[in-house]
Structure 1
Amino acid sequence: MSGRLLLVCRLLVRDLRRRRTETVLLLVAITAATATLTLGLTLNEVADRPYQQTRTATAGPDVIVTPRATGQAALDELASLATAAGVTDHSGPFPIAYLTMTTGGVSAHAVVEGRETTPVSVDRPAVTDGTWVRPGGVVVERAFADALGIRVNDTVDLDGHPLRVVGTAVTAARTTYPYAGWHYPGSILVERGGLVWVDRSDIATLAGGQPLSYTLNLKLADPAASTAYPVSDQLTTWQAIDDLNGRLYSDAQMTLLVGSWLLSGLALAGVAGIVAGRIIGHRRRVGLLKAVGAGPAMIAVVHFAEYLVIGLTAAATGLAGGWFAAPVLIRPSAGLIGSVNAQPPALRTVVAVTVLALTIAVVATLVPVVRVATTSTVHALADAATPPQRRRWRIRLSRRLPTALLIGVRINARRQRRARLVTMNTLITTTALVAVLMVNTQVEHFDLGYTELANPRRERMEQALLVVVLVVCVLALVNAVVSTWTTVLDARQPLAVARTLGATPAQAAVGLAVAQLLPAVPGVVAGIPAGIGLLAFVSRAEVEYPPVPWLLATAFGVLLAIAAFTAIPAMVATRRPVVDALRSAPA
């Protein structure tokens, strides 16, 4: 037993060292899927850390109460809450007015809160630039200021009253822009807006004839007990604020998770193609192992051990890559302080990523490994091409075609499984590209009452989409080159026979390119409705379709890229002398 284990380990190390390029490609293919899945699963876990840091730095409240009533009725309603059971501290009530802020010709909803110049024990907004409120000045929540391009010493207008911006700040007592909770007094319908603070003595003048609302911040003996409070439009817990802030990343998380599914499919196609090429190069070694007594099970173990090691390495690499990439790719809201600091992935993430990597490695290699394990010893020692699957109707159809097209059709007829991998590759690539077109076509009306500003939620989703599409395109192109090279290895003897019978190297090269383009066409055709359907499935808004010329340009672009990237290995292969290829053919 120890001798067999030693043999497996020695063969494994030898293969990894001798076939470094293929090993790296296998690692890249599986790592692309595992890293994207890691990012998707850890996005929410790391996204809420800046809020926790902000909550600690600003003495954030556990419960925020804002009655629907206004004026004295609201104050009477809040009077008893400050001394309720379980409440250890409080601040407020603070007056609030729901006004309109205008700057640089842009108007937006603004939740205006009146505060004292002296700090309080609960909810002390952290000033990030400038100073805290003073009479005649306004402090703008930092994310709101960034969206409107406001800087310290600018002048803004609050319902006809010009005020100078004296600072920017962040708080944990309200959700960051654009979900600060603007609404008409007494209404339960909340609209988008931002938060600003003014001196308490100024708010009555700014509100004019509008009745003032009030808000009270409570600190509990047990912060976790805030979940026992009834959820309503008048009461907000810190957990609810944390959840709303996290929703800024929900579309990005969905994009990364869907992207990991697409990349898993590409990884399966790529790994299967690479494994097929490696096993073709191992035929003679398989024959030698069988000649000295190794059985099919031993042959399978030798091959599976190599790919399982690569799968585990790719899982570890993907986890590390996603872990380090998260702080770079996940940009916290400007309304929070702190950073997305990298912490070790959760156990469920480690398990999910490892299972994905091993699944890709096993599923992609199962058929080729079983096939080579059951190959006869004589056939393996001869290193002959696997007998083709002949179909008479294909032969009759192809024999009247031009030479290059005939070669391509018959190569695909010999290896239908490999052709299906090409179809899968182009299907997934086209699906991703069409989904991007769909996203760019969507017209989003994201207003703050009187103007349209950038949606931070969409910005994060587009950032995640860009990452996914770049990885998909790179992996798809690698798969196309690998698929062509694998076809070259398997078809080297039939191509040599074709050249002996009169086919030119150029015709052989074009035939190899055609062999990749023919199965790519149905993948591209199916990828267009698949991309449209994918976005319609994950989108929460009404779907708008891109122009037909854009879809056609995408389809032809994918086919053109495949043709270009498969022509290079095809031309290299056809330069090999015919005699060298025929030497390994059986007599």
Structure 2
Amino acid sequence: MTGRLLLVCRLLARDLRRRRVETALLLLAISAATATLTLGLTLNDALAKPYERTRAATAGPDVVAMPGATGPAALAALAPLATAPGVTAHSGPYPVGYLMLTARGRAVQAVVQGRDDSPATLDRPAVTGGTWVRPGGVVVEHAFAAALDMRIGDTVSIDRHPLRVVGTAVTAARAVYPRADWRADAGSPLTESAGLVWVDRGEIAALAGARPLSYALNLRYADPHVGTSFTHKREDGIEYTSWTGIAEANGRLVTGARLALLVGSWLLTALAVVGVANIVAGRVADQRRRVGLLKAVGAGPAMVAAVHLAEHLVVGLAAAGTGLAAGWLAAPALTDPGAGLLGATGTPPPGLRAVVAGTALALAIAAAATLAPVLRAATTDTVHALADAATPPRRRGWRVWLSRRMPTALLIGVRVNARRPRRARLVMVNTLITTTGLAALLMGLRQDRQVGLGGAELANPRDARTIQAMLLVIGVLCVLGLVNAIVSTWTAVLDARHPLAVARTLGATPAQVTMGMAVAQLLPATLGVAVGVPAGIGLYLVVSAGEQRYAPVSWLLAMACAVLLAVAALAAVPALSAARRPVADVLRSTPA
């Protein structure tokens, strides 16, 4: 047993050293899928309780109370709540005005809250840039400032009163932009989209002018169940918003990004399986003679399978580590405060669940893509393995009749695919998955949803996060699809060197041989594009809620043509290089 294990290790190490490029590509393919899964799980862990972390850091309240009345009547309605049974702490009531803010030429709705410069018992907004409120200055909620592209030192106006932006901050007492809730008048329900800003308490009356002020009272209860028993309710003319309701509103900002990463991890996993299968198929085909030699010297099918599986499982373990690290490092790009992801000031290392899931996925991809070709090689007859013959074409009368009438390039392409039908299927699946992702991305870019804030429309942070996640996934998807296409075309050219040399001896020109290899890749790729475009549109419609706008046909056609041109170019380059080699040299170096 020890001798066999030593033999497997020695063959494994030797094969990895001899095929470094293929090993690197194999590592890249598995790492991409593992990294995406890790990114999704790490993002989920980092954002699992973002509001709770911000609430703890800013002394967030259990419940925020706002009366329907305004002015002195509002203060009178809130006064008994501060000393109600079970209330252990309170802050406020703080004056709130629903005013128009003008920044960079755009007038938008803003919830303006008056605050003191001293720290409060409850709701101490965390300053993320600049300073806290002072006379003549305004502090803008972080996500709202990002949407308006406001910076420290800019000048804005609130109902025609100029103020200088002195800072940005986050809070746990009100949902982030665009869920700050704005009233058309002080007594109407909180329904419309808006952003939150803070000003000096002594200035808010002058800013509001004739508009009545409302008030907000922050409460903390001895019984924690009070803050979790509801999200929003109205009693005796007072609206109560629980911290769970604010957390739920903030959580909606990242649901699209999470879903995009989840679906993207499925697509990348499938593409990684195709890529690994392509690489493994090429390596096993290249190693068939070695399989025959191993079996000739006494190795059984189990030993042959162990040699090949061990190699790819080792690569899978290395890819798991690489993918876990890459996913963890990429996570902060989607957890910055500008996304409205409160409390996401740092991304913790992947937890045990992410490590186990990533490792299991990497090993599963390596095993699933390796098992079929390895078993086929292990069970191949020794004589056939030593001969390393391709699949013989099935001759039929109608096929012979049709082949006589085909152009030379098309005939070469069809015969190349007939010799290795499994490789052609992998090309089709690779193109289908890549096109599906690109079509879904075009659908997402077409939506261009914005939030109406009175006089202007601003970008929706939820859609911005979703598009960012989609671009990240599709970028990795395209890189992996490109790697798969390169591997497929190079292995196809290397495997078809002898048949192409024979075709040239029978009169085919180098140009026809090059076009034939391009056709061999384009035939299955065209089918993949034809199925991938509607599949991508359907995938986006299934996972997206609400009414959707379709991507223009011109976008989809341009994308499909670009994919097919890339496939043709990737096939033509190695084929042209091989076609320039003398026929005699090819026939001498390639076993018949």
Q: CA deviation at 1:478?
A: 1.5
Q: For 1:253-290, what per-residue CA distance to the aligned partner results, in whole angstroms no more than 9, with x for missing partners?
A: 22222222222222122111111110111111111111
Structure 1 counterpart of 2:491, from 486, 489, 509? 486
User: Any idea what SS the aligned residue of 1:326 has?
Assistant: helix
Q: Which residue of 2 aligns with 1:200?
A: 201
Is residue 2:284 matched to residue 1:279? Answer: yes
Q: For 1:127-175, what per-residue CA distance to the aligned partner results, in whole angstroms no more than 9, with x for missing partners?
A: 4555544455543334323433445555443335444545443322222
Q: CA deviation at 1:23?
A: 0.7
Q: 1:14 to 1:239 in 2, by over 3 A?
A: farther
User: Any idea what SS the aligned residue of 1:333 has?
Assistant: helix
Q: For 1:477-518, what per-residue CA distance to the aligned partner results, in whole angstroms no more than 9, with x for missing partners?
A: 221121112222333332233233333333323211211011
Q: Could you tell me the percent identity over the aligned residues?
A: 66
- How many pairs does the alignment contain? 587
Q: 1:482 to 1:114 in 2, by over 3 A?
A: same
CA distance in 1, matches of 2:149, 2:291: 68
Q: CA deviation at 1:377?
A: 0.6
Q: CA deviation at 1:52?
A: 5.3
1:93 alignment partner AA: P
1:251-330 alignment runs, 5 A limit = 251-330=256-335
Q: CA deviation at 1:356?
A: 2.4
Task: Mark the runs of 5 or more structure 1 residues left unpaired by the alignment.
Answer: none
Q: Which residue of 2 aligns with 1:217?
A: 218
2:337 and 2:345 in contact (8 A); partners too? yes
Range 320-329 or range 497-506, more displaced = 497-506
1:389 and 1:414 in contact (8 A); partners too? no
Task: Mark the runs of 5 or more structure 2 residues left unpaired by the alignment.
Answer: none
Q: Which residue of 1 aligns with 2:482?
A: 477
2:5 alignment partner AA: L
CA distance in 2, matches of 1:128, 1:436: 33
2:294 alignment partner AA: L
Q: CA deviation at 1:329?
A: 4.7
1:530 alignment partner AA: A
1:99 and 1:110 in contact (8 A); partners too? yes
CA distance in 2, matches of 1:519, 1:290: 35
Range 456-465 or range 147-156, more displaced = 147-156
CA distance in 1, matches of 2:462, 2:290: 55
Range 328-337 or range 92-101, more displaced = 328-337
The TM-score, its normalising length taken from structure 2, stands at 0.90
Q: 1:433 to 1:59 in 2, by over 3 A?
A: same
Q: Which residue of 2 aligns with 1:397?
A: 402
User: Any idea what SS the aligned residue of 2:507 has?
Assistant: coil
Is residue 2:553 matched to residue 1:552? Answer: no
1:382 and 1:585 in contact (8 A); partners too? no
Q: Which residue of 2 aligns with 1:435?
A: 440
Q: 1:575 to 1:386 in 2, by over 3 A?
A: farther
CA distance in 2, matches of 1:299, 1:19: 18
Is residue 2:199 matched to residue 1:171? Answer: no
CA distance in 1, matches of 2:120, 2:21: 63
Q: Which residue of 2 aligns with 1:38?
A: 38
1:24 alignment partner AA: A
CA distance in 2, matches of 1:129, 1:296: 66
Range 272-281 or range 459-468, more displaced = 459-468
The root-mean-square deviation of aligned C-alpha atoms, in Å, is 2.8
Q: Which residue of 2 aligns with 1:191?
A: 192
Q: CA deviation at 1:229?
A: 4.5
Is residue 2:343 matched to residue 1:342? Answer: no
Is residue 2:111 matched to residue 1:106? Answer: no
Structure 2 counterpart of 1:358, from 354, 357, 363? 363
CA distance in 2, matches of 1:162, 1:472: 48
CA distance in 2, matches of 1:530, 1:150: 40
Q: CA deviation at 1:70?
A: 4.1
Q: Which residue of 2 aligns with 1:509?
A: 514
CA distance in 1, matches of 2:150, 2:344: 22
Q: Which residue of 2 aligns with 1:408?
A: 413
Q: CA deviation at 1:209?
A: 4.6
CA distance in 1, matches of 2:319, 2:120: 51
1:110 and 1:194 in contact (8 A); partners too? yes
Q: 1:249 to 1:395 in 2, by over 3 A?
A: farther
Range 19-28 or range 222-231, more displaced = 222-231
CA distance in 1, matches of 2:297, 2:144: 75
Structure 2 counterpart of 1:333, from 335, 338, 346? 338
User: Any idea what SS the aligned residue of 1:446 has?
Assistant: strand
Q: CA deviation at 1:566?
A: 1.3
1:480 and 1:562 in contact (8 A); partners too? yes
Q: 1:6 to 1:218 in 2, by over 3 A?
A: same
Q: 1:330 to 1:564 in 2, by over 3 A?
A: farther
